[in-house]
Structure 1
Amino acid sequence: MSITSLTGAMWPAILKLQHEAYAQVAPESLDVLKSKWLRSPDSCFVYQDGERLMGYLLAHAWGGESPPSLFKPLPERSENSYLFLHDLVVSQNAAGQGIGSAMTAHLINTAALLGCRHIRLVSIQYSNRFWQKMGFTPMATAVCSSYGLGAQLMQMDI
């Protein structure tokens, strides 16, 4: 099992995992997801067991207080104040194996190498406890209702 860079051939498996993972938030389109990868390919990767995709993580440069809107491709230009962890999905068949923690640790190391001082994310589907265990703290900034009930903006300082 290994964490590797995301490639264009992986999108069908990524879309399948996305549809499997989200119950409270509608899945985003391929174009929207690809816009995250194209903005910051060095901070987007997958977890594989041989040829089988077990999880993926999409993170990209972002700025400003509000997180990016869901269901819209990223704008061509934006402030690059921090890394925004847009999506972390682990296959239900691989739950509890530490894949999410390993991918988050890999992102933190990548962010440090890229010179980022902060990582932000929106915790959805009541995943706050996981993110707090990983070192993220809640922020007071409100998030758009499209993120679903219980959504919480969180940040980690690197």
Structure 2
Amino acid sequence: MSIDPIDDTLWADIQRVQAEVYHQFEPENQATLRSKWLASPDCCFVARTRQDDPARPGVLAYLLAHAWHSDTPPKLYQPIAPGAGTGHHLFLHDLAVSRRAAGLGLGRQMVERLLGRARRRGFGQIRLVAVQGSVPFWRKMGFEPVPGAQASASYGRDATVMRQVLRATGP
């Protein structure tokens, strides 16, 4: 198993994982997903098997995060315009883990990698919108609900805006 940067050859696998995981709303199209990646490619990655592991072929999980300029999360289904992926905090747009990888701890590993990257890049916090009952997972990862914050209706009824304030690491 390896966690690697996203490249142009992986989008079909990423979309396959997305379609498998999200059942409360329509998956985003490839152009929208790619726009998140293009906004901050060093904050986006996949977990995948080695080519010699036929039991779990291909991409098992992906994470997309990008710099964001507002405390209000971006809406689903809207691409990030070129140059708009800038700002004072990181927005974790999507973490999806295939059922084929259940119990492997890939979600935790990918979030920990993102936290390290965010600290090194000097972000003060990471925000996200928890969906499909994922608030308990995000709490375990150190995220807390943002009082009074609301996400776009596109995220569904149970959407919860959450954040983790980052502490700078040493040199």
TM over 0.5: yes
- Are 2:61 and 1:61 aligned? no
| Cα distance in 1 for residues equivalent to 2:120 and 2:25 | 32
Q: Structure 2 matches for 1:9-158, cutoff 5 A?
A: 9-51=9-51, 52-78=58-84, 79-139=86-146, 140-158=148-166
What amino acid does structure 2 have at the position aligned with 1:143? A
Percent identity of equivalent pairs = 43
Work out the number of aligned pairs and report it: 158
Question: How far apart, CA to CA, are the structure 1 residues paired with 2:136 and 2:11?
Answer: 29
- How far off its partner does 1:10 sit? 0.4
State the structure with more CA Rg.
2
Aligned-partner Cα distance in 1 for 2:88–2:120: 15
Unpaired segments ≥5 residues, structure 1: none
The letter of the residue matching 1:64 is S
**Could you report, residue by residue, the CA deviation over 1:80-124 in whole angstroms, capped at 9, with x for unpaired residues?**
110000000111111121110000000001111111110000000
Residues 114-151 of structure 1 deviation map (CA, whole Å, 9 limit, x = unaligned) = 11110000000010000000000001211111101210
Moved over 4 A (4+): none
> What is the TM-score of this pair, normalised by structure 2?
0.89
RMSD: 1.0
Pairwise CA distance, 1:58: 0.2
* Partner deviation per Cα, 1:21-67 (whole Å, 9 max, x = no partner): 10002100100000000000000000111142110000000021210
